[in-house]
């Protein structure tokens, strides 16, 4: 399979660079529908960053996290060779060749010392702060936590988000020491963090959505699509990079599109059928709430004539359920809600015509 080079995220990357050029003062949430290209954009940014920055990138996806301690653990990249047990000295020593790191580097000795203690979080944060103070004398540190919603699924110490984000507030608004980016496709989770950690006036949001029409068109043309293929790809997939990639790799594009559409239609149909026959429930704020088939259908019906709706036009249980099932995406900034992709919109319309 051919490797597809990174395609234009000029607008979003310009915004990130503007943030990086100013003194760190707010936490930045990078959000957008699933598979919109958030992680890809961040990886590209890290590769392109000028030398004066020191990025520390932690991706929580696929990491084994069952409790608070595991979470603190994955913030670090353990340096097995690092014999030093003094933070400042260690930070100074690794500045010389700080390559691509996944997490805050820590010498094994210090790591073991911290993790033997009962109240680890105090020492974890103390270490990170000291480490960053030293790094920031030479370069501007950036901490990026990707797939943050992973910790939302686990029953972690309820104070986790509060503690973590208060530490982030200290690093940004108070000490102006380090840029913080938290990346997630789950905007309801971000909303939760926002209220639990009391982030009013302490954060900003940056949307990384699917490509717009123009960007999609340029992307496909670059990969040899004819105008007709380009038009039909947009009609079915909109600007969802992951679908476009799938098409690029196929010879018979129209057939592939139909296959993708039928597959997604089938998935949504089955989801609704399951709720109709077996019922379902979701947990909101610790309470179990029943999901109603009729209400789900009413919610989805709104998309028959509209591409997006106000997020409060739908009852809260159906809204959260459809978001959790990756059918809908909520944009908390504009308070609008839309299907996760153009393909989802068409699939919803197709399923509903038979109900
Ligand atoms: N700008 C781009 N240029 C080329 N390919 C891209 C671009 N953005 C995304 N892709 C492709 O789309 C796929 C999905 O992107 P990515 O994993 O970055 O999305 P995401 O928004 O991080 O998804 P999730 O919501 O699951 O975290 C990637 O495998 C990548 O190959
Ligand atoms: Mg991602």
**236 CA to centre of own chain:** 24
Q: For residue 88, is pLDDT > 80?
A: yes
- Distance separating alpha carbons of residues 329 and 327, to the nearest angstrom: 7
Instruction: Map out the domains of the chain as residue ranges.
Output: 10-207, 278-352
Q: What is the pLDDT of residue 163?
A: 83
Residue 71 CA to ligand 1 centre (angstroms) = 25
Residue whose CA is closest, atom 25 of ligand 1?
34
Q: For residue 122, is pLDDT > 70?
A: yes
Ligand found nearest the CA of 35? 1
Residue 217 CA to ligand 1 centre (angstroms) = 17
4 Cβ closer than 6 Å to some ligand 1 atom: yes
Ligand found nearest the CA of 146? 2
240 Cβ closer than 6 Å to some ligand 1 atom: no
Per residue in 277-314, pLDDT tens? 999 999 887 799 999 999 999 999 999 999 999 999 99
263 Cβ closer than 6 Å to some ligand 1 atom: no
38 Cβ closer than 6 Å to some ligand 1 atom: yes
Q: What is the pLDDT of residue 1?
A: 61
98 Cβ closer than 6 Å to some ligand 1 atom: no
Residue 194 pLDDT level (bands cut at 50, 70, 90): confident
Closest by CA to 299, choosing from 277, 278, 325, 260, is 325
6 Cβ closer than 6 Å to some ligand 1 atom: yes
Q: For residue 154, is pLDDT > 70?
A: no
Q: What is the pLDDT of residue 101?
A: 77
Per residue in 333-352, pLDDT tens? 899 999 999 999 999 999 99
To which CATH superfamily is domain 10-207 assigned? P-loop containing nucleotide triphosphate hydrolases (3.40.50.300)
Q: What is the mean pLDDT of residues 190-195?
A: 81
Lookup result for tokens 């996290």? 65
Residue whose CA is closest, atom 12 of ligand 1?
242
Per residue in 255-282, pLDDT tens? 999 999 999 999 999 999 999 999 999 9
CATH number of 278-352: 1.10.10.10
């Amino acid at each position: 399979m051919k490797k597809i080079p990174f395609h234009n995220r000029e607008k979003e990357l310009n915004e990130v660079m503007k943030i990086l050029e100013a003194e760190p003062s707010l936490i930045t949430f990078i959000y957008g529908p699933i598979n919109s290209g958030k992680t890809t954009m961040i990886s590209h940014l890290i590769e392109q960053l000028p030398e004066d920055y020191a990025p520390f990138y932690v991706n929580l996806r696929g990491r084994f996290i069952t409790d608070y301690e595991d979470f603190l653990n994955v913030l670090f990249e353990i340096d097995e060779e690092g014999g030093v047990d003094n933070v400042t000295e260690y930070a100074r020593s690794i500045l010389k060749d700080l390559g691509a790191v996944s997490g805050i580097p820590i010498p094994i000795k210090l790591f073991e010392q911290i993790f033997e203690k009962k109240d680890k979080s105090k020492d974890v944060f103390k270490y990170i702060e000291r480490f960053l103070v030293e790094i920031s004398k030479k370069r501007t540190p950036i901490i990026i936590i990707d797939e943050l919603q992973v910790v939302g699924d686990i029953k972690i110490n309820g104070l986790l988000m509060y503690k973590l984000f208060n530490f982030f507030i200290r690093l940004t608004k108070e000490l102006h020491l380090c840029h913080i980016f938290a990346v997630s496709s789950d905007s309801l989770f971000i909303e939760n963090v926002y209220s639990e950690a009391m982030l009013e006036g302490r954060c900003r949001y940056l949307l990384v959505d699917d490509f717009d029409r123009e960007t999609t068109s340029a992307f496909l043309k670059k990969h040899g699509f004819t105008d007709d293929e380009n038009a039909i790809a947009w009609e079915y997939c909109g600007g969802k990079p992951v679908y476009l990639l799938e098409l690029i790799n196929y010879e018979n594009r129209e057939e592939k599109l139909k296959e993708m559409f039928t597959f997604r239609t089938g998935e949504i149909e089955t989801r609704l059928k399951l709720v109709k026959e077996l019922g379902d429930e979701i947990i909101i704020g610790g309470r179990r709430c029943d999901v109603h088939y009729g209400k789900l259908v009413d919610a989805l019906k709104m998309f028959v004539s509209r591409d997006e709706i106000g997020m409060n036009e739908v009852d809260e249980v159906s809204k959260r359920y459809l978001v959790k099932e990756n059918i809908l995406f909520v944009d908390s900034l504009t308070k609008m809600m839309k299907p996760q992709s153009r393909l989802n919109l068409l699939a919803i319309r197709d399923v509903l015509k038979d109900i």
